[in-house]
Amino acid sequence: MSSITEKSPPTVDTAENDSERTQSKENAYEQVSSPESVRQKWYEWFAPSDTPEERRLILKLDGLIIVFVFLAYWAKVLDSSATSTAYVSGMKEDLKLYGNQLNYLNTVYYVGFIVLQIPLTLLMTRCPVNYFLPAADLLWGVFTLAQYKVSNVTQLYALRFFVGALGGFFFPAVQWYLGSWYKRSELSRRGAIFFIASQIGSMSSGYIQAGAYDRLDGRFGIEGWRWFLTSDEIRLAQERMASEHRETRQPFTRSKITAILKGWRLWVLVGFAFFFSQADGVSQNSGLSLWLKAEGYSVGNIDTITTVSPAVTIIASVVCAVFSDVYDAKASLIAITAGLNIFASIVLAIWNVPNGLKFFAFFLSGTADGIAAVVYAWANEICAHSAEERAIVISTMNTIGNTFGAWIPLL
């Protein structure tokens, strides 16, 4: 893949005019065009104002970008989900994992995930994406495949660190990349399709592990692209981003970095990401599967019951994305999702409640992930005036959220 910004005309940036340029861009963004006279219906894929050329471009982008990132993200989440699934399917006994070692495995993964996430996301804004992402994916695949040969937990710790480091920047990198191609009325739905891959990966892990455990356990001694756009399409894509005041990449300067760190956007959006990640942790930190195991559920039942939460997330993602793009209701969607997850968290914190209510709270917590595409689409919109700020903000949002996810479960 190549970025539209690679063909943008070169610009000269200096420290003296950097702050003035930033202010003018912010003013331009605030004067974004008024809503269309004919509102897009929730079931329509294109806006009424989209020209035939734009519709062809959008379909081409969807087929080339979204399909690739969907499949790549599905594979990454399938791997990360597989650790917890494998734990309750025999890995605990085979590798003699006891105490908090499952949490330690997740923590090591997140340490690798966090350490290089911001640097690699920023590096992607400087390098050709069509080489950068596939190279990282290839190395990630090598370390992922090597996990099936481990004979002790120490080896698994090392591999999980490198898998996390090589795969960690993929989510913020894709969110930044989508913001380089899609308009604000298109971002949430594309981001939701991308994010749904994580839930399908999580669900797939349960079904795949259940089938492997039943049919392959012990067998053989092993326990159970490339593409281009035309010059006219690149020009149209650039014009579409210019109409959104989405700026091309510029050189990094000290004044630019200082302005980003002092700006309200970074800290407000990172704050949203922090609270989102803590609600997300309810469904992602293996609580449901470990409770089911303690209650005596069979391995097959555990592997399939835990797929309900990702299914809830998929539904919530689609609903939130459509309402966000069509009605621009981001604040309301975030508030509603927060309310649902506060209720779910209170129920699980009390714990001594009927099992039916406990199941309901676990499944309801899946709605937290449903707002992810909206939050990151909002970040792309708010930071539209600077490609570098978008990269820093989006990667920091994901890094901070996962930093807390690395140690809070140990408490």
Q: What's the confidence (pLDDT) of residue 303?
A: 77
- The CATH number assigned to the domain holding 185 equals 1.20.1250.20
* Euclidean distance between CA atoms 344 and 362, whole angstroms: 7
Sign of the CA dihedral running 19, 21, 25, 28: positive
Tokens of 268: 């407000």
User: Residue 373 corresponds to which amino acid?
Assistant: A
177 and 3 Cβ atoms separated by less than 8 Å: yes
Percent of the chain's residues with pLDDT above 90: 3
Asked whether residue 330 carries a pLDDT value surpassing 60, the answer given is yes
What are the helix (H) ranges across 216-329?
Answer: 231-243, 254-262, 264-284, 287-294, 299-305, 308-327
| Residues of the domain holding 277 | 50-410
Is 1 domain-assigned?
no
- 206 CB-contact burial (10 Å; exposed 0-12 / middle 13-18 / buried 19+): buried
Q: Is 72 helix (H, G, I), strand (E, B) or coil?
A: helix
Asked whether residue 270 carries a pLDDT value surpassing 80, the answer given is yes
Is 399 domain-assigned?
yes
With the CA atoms of 250, 387, 48 and 325 taken in that order, what torsion angle do they form, in degrees rounded to the nearest 10? -170
Asked whether residue 31 carries a pLDDT value surpassing 50, the answer given is no
User: What is the helix, strand, coil percentage profile of the chain, to 5?
Assistant: 75, 0, 25
Is 22 domain-assigned?
no
Q: How many CB atoms lie within 10 A of CB 45?
A: 12
Asked whether residue 296 carries a pLDDT value surpassing 90, the answer given is no
Is 247 domain-assigned?
yes
pTM reported for the whole predicted model: 0.59
Is 6 domain-assigned?
no
Phi, psi of 100 (to 5 degrees): -95, 20
Is 249 domain-assigned?
yes
Is 206 domain-assigned?
yes
Place of tokens 């970025």: 3
Is 24 domain-assigned?
no
87 and 153 Cβ atoms separated by less than 8 Å: no
* Euclidean distance between CA atoms 266 and 257, whole angstroms: 11
215-232 confidence digits (pLDDT tens)? 555 554 544 422 375 677
144-180 confidence digits (pLDDT tens)? 878 777 777 778 888 888 888 888 788 888 888 888 8
Q: What does 95-120 look like in DSSP terms, one character per residue? A: TT--TTHHHHHHHHHHHHHHHTHHHH
77-99 confidence digits (pLDDT tens)? 766 666 666 666 666 666 777 66
Domain count, the chain: 1
Q: How many CB atoms lie within 10 A of CB 381?
A: 21
